[in-house]
Amino acid sequence: MSDEKDTKAEAKSEPKPAEEQRVETQHSVTIGGKQVKYTAIAGTLVLKEEDDEKGEHKPKASVYYTAYLAEQPKGAKPRPLTFSFNGGPGSSSVWLHLGVLGPRRVDMPLDDSMPRPPFDLVDNEYSILAETDLVFIDPVTTGYSRPVPGEAAKQFHGFQKDLETVGEFIRLFTTRHQRWSSPKFLIGESYGTTRAAALSGHLQDRHGMALNGIMLISSVLEFSTLLFNAGNDLPYILFLPTYAATAWYHKQLGADLQKDLSKTLAEVRRFASGEYAAALFQGDSLPVEQRQQIAAKLAAYTGLSAEYVERSNLRIEIHRFTKELLRKERKTVGRLDSRYVASDRDAAGENYEFDPSYAAIQAAFTAALNQYVRAELEFESDLPYEILTGRVHPWSYKENENQYLNVAETLRQAMVINPALKVFVANGYYDLATPFYATEYTFNHLQLAPELRGNISMEYYEAGHMMYIHEASLKAQYKHLVEFIKRSL
Q: pLDDT tens across 82-102, in order?
A: 999 999 999 999 999 999 999
- Mean pLDDT value across residues 206-212: 97
pLDDT at 163: 97
pLDDT at 469: 95
Last residue of a domain, one of 310, 339, 354: 354
pLDDT at 16: 67
Span 460-486, pLDDT tens digits: 999 999 999 999 999 999 999 999 999
Separation of alpha carbons 198 and 178, rounded Å: 24
| CA distance readout (Å), 216 to 85, 195, 200, 202, 459 | 11, 10, 12, 17, 11
The verdict on 48 and 127 lying in the same domain is: yes
Rounded to the nearest 5 degrees, what angle is found at the Cα of 197, between the Cα atoms of 191 and 203?
120
Pairing of strands 213-219, 184-190: parallel
Contact 68, 103 (CB under 8 A): yes
Report the number of distinct structural domains present in the chain: 2
Helix H or strand E encompassing 146: strand 146-147
Which of the four pLDDT bands, split at 50, 70 and 90, describes residue 39?
Answer: very high
pLDDT at 14: 58
Which residue range is the domain that position 241 belongs to? 228-354
Please spell the DSSP secondary structure of 353-408, one letter per residue.
Answer: SS-HHHHHHHHHHHHHHHHHHHHTS-----S--BSB-STTPSPB-GGGTTS--B-H
CATH classification at residue 165: 3.40.50.1820
| pTM over the 0.75 mark | yes
Separation of alpha carbons 326 and 119, rounded Å: 30
Mean per-residue pLDDT over the chain, rounded:
94
The verdict on 433 and 329 lying in the same domain is: no
Helix H or strand E encompassing 477: helix 471-488
Q: Which residues pair with 35 in a beta bridge?
A: 30
The verdict on 215 and 248 lying in the same domain is: no
- Mean pLDDT value across residues 365-389: 97
pLDDT at 111: 77
Last residue of a domain, one of 335, 354, 373: 354
Query: Which one has a higher pLDDT value, 99 or 52?
Result: 99
Question: Residue 9 falls within a domain, yes or no?
Answer: no
- Mean pLDDT value across residues 101-107: 97
Separation of alpha carbons 28 and 398, rounded Å: 45
Last residue of a domain, one of 313, 335, 354: 354
Which of the four pLDDT bands, split at 50, 70 and 90, describes residue 225?
Answer: very high
Quick check: 10 pLDDT over 50? Answer: no
The verdict on 85 and 203 lying in the same domain is: yes
pLDDT at 230: 92
Span 286-332, pLDDT tens digits: 999 999 999 999 999 999 999 999 999 999 999 999 999 999 999 99
Please report which residue ranges of 303-355 form alpha helices under DSSP H. Answer: 306-311, 318-324
Contact 356, 338 (CB under 8 A): no
Which of the four pLDDT bands, split at 50, 70 and 90, describes residue 11?
Answer: very low
Contact 201, 414 (CB under 8 A): yes
Please spell the DSSP secondary structure of 267-296, one letter per residue.
Answer: HHHHHIIIIIHHHHHHGGGS-HHHHHHHHH
The verdict on 471 and 383 lying in the same domain is: yes
Separation of alpha carbons 468 and 265, rounded Å: 22
Pairing of strands 456-461, 184-190: unpaired
Question: Residue 10 falls within a domain, yes or no?
Answer: no
Contact 360, 381 (CB under 8 A): no
